[in-house]
Amino acid sequence: MLIHFPKHKEPGYKLLLVGDDQCLLESRKMLFEGSGYGVVSFQTKDLIRLKIMPAADLAVLCHSVRDDEWEQLIQRLKDQFSTGRILQLDGPSVRRRYRETQVMPVVPTHPACLLPILKHIVHKD
């Protein structure tokens, strides 16, 4: 009996995931990859230090990004992404930042809300 495995399909949409909680980064990366997205993830300080940003279609910022690194991170990301291509996952510090700056869309972290929003953005292209 022959068993045929489906060929690995290259994800058509790549996400850049940034945060400071390694556990959250890994669990969100698994969620996004399981939904068919290509994902590259970085801790905030590591991404800020990169000379060349990784190629991605959309940046997703975890709520765990520290306040003291947030502005520097946003400046780096704005060089590559329009503000409509940077999503901030909701959290207490995010709500405060958003009220102060209104820089980018803030989306819920629950998968039942987050995944349909990503799907909507992907299919807008």
pLDDT, greater one: 70 or 17: 17
Q: d(Cα 23, Cα 26) in Å, to the nearest integer?
A: 5
CATH architecture for the domain at 14-124:
3-Layer(aba) Sandwich (3.40)
**Can you spell out the DSSP letters for 3-20?**
--PPPPPPPSSEEEEEES
- Digit-coded pLDDT (tens) for 60-109: 999 888 888 888 888 888 877 765 688 888 877 666 665 555 567 778 88
pTM for this entry: 0.81
Cβ atoms of residues 79 and 90 within 8 Å: no
Q: Secondary structure of 35-63 in the HEC alphabet? A: CCCEEEEEEHHHHHHCCCCCCCCEEEECC
Nearest partner of 20 among 39, 51, 44, judged by Cα: 44
Domains in the chain: boundaries: 14-124
